Structure 1
Amino acid sequence: MKLPSVADYVPATPAGRTFALTALISSVGTGLFLAGSTVFFIRYVGLSNAQIGLGLAVAACFGFLATVPVGVIGDRFGPHRTLIGAQLWRAGCFVGLVFVDGPLAFVVVASCMAAAEGSTPPLTQAVVAETTGPEDRVRTMAIIRTVRNVGFSLGALLAAPLLSASSTTAYQSIVLGNALAFALSAGLLLRLRLPKSTVARTSRSALRAIRGFRDWRYVTLAGLNGTLSLHMTILSVGIPLWTVQATEAPAAIVPILVFTNTVLAVLLQVPFSNGADDSPGAGRALRRGGLALAGCCVAFALAQGTSAVVAVGVLAVGCVLLTFGELWQAVGGWQLSYLYAPEKQKATYLSVFNLGSTGQGIIGPSIVTTVVIGTGRIGWIGLAVFFVLAALLVRPVITLLDRAPRPAPADEPASEPLSP
C-alpha cells in the first residue's frame, strides 16, 4: 500500500474541497456535543440515566423511520437543498435543546434531531456524487470521513475546559456551539456550486415512493453492509465492557485502544480507498472488511484467561483488525451503494442502504452486550463466524444485482417487475 501524501487528502474539485470544510466544521460541533452530552443531560436538564437511555432509544427508532422519507424528499427537491435544510433543522434542534426541562420535551427534541441525523449520511453521499466524477467519489468520501474523525477529536478537546467549568453557561455553550457549527455548515453549503444536473427530479410523494420500492437485492446488500457496521458498537460498547469485565488488562487501556482506532482511521482511510473504484474492487473491500472483523472477534476471545500483558497485546491486535475492517467496510459500502442506485432515485436508494447501519445502531448494543459478551468466548467466536458468512455472501449478492433489471425512472411505470 502506497503511503499517502498531503495532496491525497485534498479533494480534486473546488466543490469537494468546500464540502470537506463543511464536514470539518459540523464534526467539530458534533465532537463537542458528544463529549459533553451525558453531563449536559444529567446536570443541566436533570434527567436520570434511565430517562436518557429511553429517550435516545425512542429517538433512534424515529430517526430510522424518517431516513427513507427524507431521502425521497432529496430526490424530489435535490439532495443539495435537502442537506442544507437538514443542517439548519439540526441547528434549530440544538437551540431548542437548551430549553428542554423534562423527559417528555427531551424525547421530542431528540426525535426531531434524529430525523435529520439519520438522513445526513445518504444525503452527503448524494451530494458528493454530484460534485465529483465516478473515479473520484470514493476517495472524496474517504477524505470527508478522515476530516470528520479529526473534527470529532478537536471537538472533544474543546469540550474539556467547558466541562471543567461545571456551570450553566458552560453547559449551554456545549449545545449552542454545536448549533452554530451546523448553521455555519449550512451557510457554506449554500455557497456550494454544483454542476447542473441533467437528471429529472421525481414528482412522486414520499408514501408512493416508499411503497413502490421493491429492489430486494439492494436491500439485501444494505443488510450485509449493516451487519459489518457492527464494528461501531464493538468499538464503543464491546471493547470497554469486555476489557474491564472479562480480561486482566487494566481499564486504562480502553481509551488508548479507542485513540489508536481514531489515529489509524485518520491515517489510513484514504489509502484504503484505492482500488475500490468499481464493483469488483468495492466487493473485495467489503469482503476483506468482514474477514478482518472476524479476526478481530477471535483476538478478543483469546484475550480472556491470559495475563494482563498478553491480554493488552491481544486486545491491541484485535483493535487494529477492527480498524481495518471498519475502513474496508466503509469504502466497499460507499461504492456499492452508489453503483446500484438509479440516478433518479439516488437519495432514496442511498437512504435505504443507510438503514442497515442505522438499524445496527438500534439493535447492535443488545447483541454485543447480551449475546456476545454475555456468552463469553463462544459469543465472540459466534460473531466471527457471522462476519465470515456476511463476507462470503457479498459476491453472490453483487452478482444478483448485476443480473437484475434496472428500475424504470421514478415517474414512469416499470417495463418489468423490479423483483420476480
Structure 2
Amino acid sequence: MLLVAFIDKTGTGLWTTASALYFTLVAGLSLTRVGLLLGLAGAVGVAGAPLAGHLADRFPLTRVLVGAQLLRAAALLALLTTDHYGLLLLFASVGALPDRGSNVLTKLYAARATGSQRVRYQAINRTVGNLGWAVGGLGAAGALTTGTAAAYQTLLIGNALSYAVIAALTLRCAEPPAPSHIVAGAARPPSGPAAPSPRATRSNPWRDRPFLLFTLTETVLYLDDTIIQVGMPLWIVHSTQAPAGLAPLVLVLNSVLVVLFQVPLSRFGTSSAAARNLLVPLACLFTGGCLALAASATGGSWTAVAALIAAAVALTFAEMVHAVASWELSVAIAAPDAQGTYLGVHGLAASAQRGAGPLLVTAVIATGPVAWPALGAGYAVVCLLQRRLVRDRLPEPALSVPPITVSEH
C-alpha cells in the first residue's frame, strides 16, 4: 500500500499543477468558468467521503478501492473527449467523488490492516505521499515549460495511468478483516456506541451527536493546512515587508519538515489517551504560529522573514501533531460495526475546511495583524473542547484496536 500511495501522489502531482491551465489553454474556458467548474466539482466531491465509507462497510474494502481508482482514471480520460462546458463539469464532478473518497478508504485500510500500529503507518504513508507529490510536481514543471496542448494532455494521461497502475497493485493486496468481525461482543465505553448483537441495527454516525460534534471540531483543526497553503503566501505579499520569493520557500519548508518529522512524531500518538493529550501542544503550536504571523507585520524585512519562518515551522508542526491525533481519535471513537461509515463522515471535516477555510483565512488577512491572535485563541478553545468531547468515548485499554494479523493469501 505504500507503493500505491507513492504512485498515487506522483500522478496527482503531475496533474494538479496543470489542471486549471488545462481548462483555460486546452479546453478554452474563461477564468470565471474555470473557477466555477472547480468550485462546483469540489462541492459535489464532498459527498465522496461518506459514500466511500458507506460502501466499505458493505463490500470488500480492496474492491471498493479498486473501483474508486478506476473511476478516477475514467473521469480524467473523459476530459480529453470534449470541450463542452456541461460535460467537462460532469466529468470533473464524477472524478471528485472517488478522489475525496479514496482518502477515507486508504485510512480505513490502514486502520483494519495495521491495528495498533495504524498511526505510525499513516505517518509513513503521508511521508511517502509527500515524496510522490514532489516527484510529480517536478515532472509537471518540466512538461509545462513547453506550454503546448500535448504537454497538458500528457500530464492528464499520466495521472490516469497512475490510477490504473495502483488499481492493479491494490488487487494484489490482502483484504483486511473488518473490526466488527474481530471485536464482536467486545464492550465499548458506556457513552460510546454499543457493539451490536448479530440482529441489532447498525450504528449510525448521523445520529451520534458526540461524533458529529467531534467532526465539527475537526473542521476547525484542519485550518493549519489552509493557512500554510493559502494564507501565508497572501499575507507575505500583501501585509509584510518580506520578499515575495519567500512564499514558495515556505511551502518547500513545510514539505521538508513533514518528510523529516511526521514519522518520528507518530510515536506520541500510538494510544488513544496519548493522542488525546496531543491536543494541548497542538493548541500551543497553532497559537504560537498565529502570534508569529501577527509579529511579521510589525517590523522591517528581516523581522518579517524571521517571524514568518517561525510561523511556518510552528504551523507545520501543528499540522503534523493534528494529523497524528486525528488518525487515532477518529478510529478510536468510531463504532466497530460501522467503522467505514464513521470515517466517511469524519472525512467531511477536511472537505468542508477546503471550502470554508480560505474564506475565513482571507477575512483574517483583510482584518489585519490583530485577527491572528484572535484566531489562535479560538483554535485553542476548540482543541480543549475536542479534548473534553472524546474523554468518555475512548475505549479501555488505551490501545483502541488490538493488533490484527492479515493473511497473505
**TM-score of the aligned structures, taking structure 2 as reference length:** 0.88
Counterpart pick for 2:382 among 390, 396, 402? 390
- Separation in structure 2 between the aligned mates of residue 286 and residue 64 of structure 1, nearest angstrom: 26
Following superposition, the deviation at residue 402 of structure 1 comes to: 4.0
Aligned to 1:49: 31
The residue identity in structure 1 corresponding to 2:161 is: L
Amino acid at match of 1:285: L
Please show how residues 245-260 of structure 1 align to structure 2 within 5 Å: 245-260=238-253
- Taking every aligned residue pair, what percent have the same amino acid on both sides? 35
Is the counterpart of residue 261 in structure 1 residue 254 in structure 2?
A: yes
Do the aligned residues in 2 keep the contact of 1:222 with 1:356 (CA within 8 Å)?
yes
Give the Cα separation in 2 of the matches to 1:210 and 1:238. 39
Measure the CA separation in 1 of the matches of 2:329 and 2:82: 41
Pick closer, same or farther for the CA change 1:197–1:384 going to 2, 3 Å: closer
Residue number among 152, 166, 184 corresponding to 2:147 in the alignment: 166
Mapping 1:336-351, distance limit 5 Å = 336-351=329-344
Q: Deviations over 1:239-274 (max 9, x none)?
A: 111000000001001111110000000110001111
Question: In terms of mean alpha carbon deviation, does 149-158 or 167-176 score higher?
Answer: 167-176
Amino acid at match of 1:355: L
- Aligned residue runs from structure 1 range 84-95, under 5 A: 84-95=66-77
* Greater mean alpha carbon deviation, residues 358-367 or residues 113-122: 113-122
**1:105 & 1:373 partners in 2: Cα distance?**
37
Q: For residues 78 and 280 of structure 2, what CA distance do their matches in structure 1 show?
A: 43
| Residue in structure 1 matching 2:361, options 338, 360, 368 | 368
Unmatched tracts of structure 1, length 5 or more:
1-18, 202-207, 404-420
Q: String of CA shifts for 1:361-394, please: whole Å, max 9, x gaps.
A: 011111111x211101122122111111112112
Q: Is the 8 A contact 2:205 2:341 kept in 1?
A: no
Q: CA 1:137–1:209 in 2, change beyond 3 Å: closer, same or farther?
A: same
Matched, 1:286 2:267: no
1:75 aligns with 57
- Provide closer, same or farther for how the CA distance between residues 380 and 212 of structure 1 changes in structure 2, counting only shifts above 3 A: closer
Tell me the SS of whatever aligns to 1:259.
helix
Shift in Å at residue 63 of structure 1?
1.2
Q: How many residues align?
A: 378
Moved more, 35-44 or 192-201: 192-201
Q: Distance in 1 between matches of 2:367 and 2:60?
A: 47
Q: Deviations over 1:139-165 (max 9, x none)?
A: 000000000000001000001121011
Matched-pair contact (CA < 8 Å) for 2:11–2:136: yes
* Cα distance in 2 for residues equivalent to 1:25 and 1:195: 21
Q: Corresponding residue for 1:412? A: none
| Counterpart position of 2:163 | 182
CA contact (8 A) 1:79 1:347 kept: no
Q: Give, as a single letter, the amino acid of the residue that structure 1 aligns with 2:387.
A: R
Shift of 1:198: 7.1
- How far apart in 1 are the matches of 2:293 and 2:253? 16
Q: Secondary structure of 1:256's match?
A: helix
Q: Is residue 130–residue 194 contact of structure 1 (8 Å, CA) maintained in 2?
A: no
Instruction: Report what 2:313 is aligned to.
Output: 320
Report the AA paired with residue 169 of structure 2. Answer: L
Name the CA distance, whole Å, in 2 between partners of 1:299 and 1:287.
Answer: 19
Question: Structure 1 residues 397, 280: CA separation in 2 closer, same or farther (over 3 Å shift)?
Answer: same
- Report SS of the residue matched to 1:114: helix
Cα shift readout 1:255-300 (whole Å, capped 9, x = no counterpart): 1111000000011000111121112111122332232112111111
Structure 2, gaps ≥5 residues long = 183-200, 396-409
Q: Name the residue aligned to 2:323.
A: 330
What is the alpha-carbon distance in structure 2 between the residues aligned to residue 336 and residue 212 of structure 1? Answer: 15
- Classify 1:95/1:160 alpha carbon distance in 2 versus 1 (closer, same or farther; 3 Å): same
Question: What is the alpha-carbon distance in structure 2 between the residues aligned to residue 322 and residue 100 of structure 1?
Answer: 42
Aligned residue for 1:306? Answer: 299
> Does structure 2 conserve the Cα–Cα contact (< 8 Å) formed by 1:163 and 1:171?
yes
Q: Deviations over 1:322-376 (max 9, x none)?
A: 100000000000000111112221110001111111100011111111x211101
- Which amino acid is 1:372 matched to? V
Partner residue, 2:393: 401
> CA distance change for structure 1 residues 356 and 110 in 2, over 3 Å: closer, same or farther?
same
Spell out the pairing of 1:12-23 with structure 2 (5 A cutoff).
19-23=1-5
Shift, 1:197, TM fit: 4.8
- Which portions of structure 1, spanning 4 or more consecutive aligned residues, are displaced by more than 4 angstroms? 195-198, 208-212
Deviations 1:24-55 (A, max 9, x none): 00100001111222221211111222112111
- The CA distance in 2 between the partners of 1:198 and 1:121, in whole Å, is 19
Distance in 1 of aligned mates of 2:101 and 2:179: 24
Determine whether 1:225 maps to 2:218. yes
Work out which of the residue numbers 339, 348, 352 in structure 1 matches 2:345. 352
Q: CA deviation at 1:169?
A: 1.5
CA-CA distance at 1:105 after TM superposition: 2.1
Shift of the 142–402 alpha-carbon distance from structure 1 to 2, 3 Å rule, reads closer
2:173 alignment counterpart: 192
2:103 is matched with 121
What is the SS of the residue equivalent to 1:133?
helix
- Indicate conservation of the 8 Å contact 2:179/2:337, yes or no: no
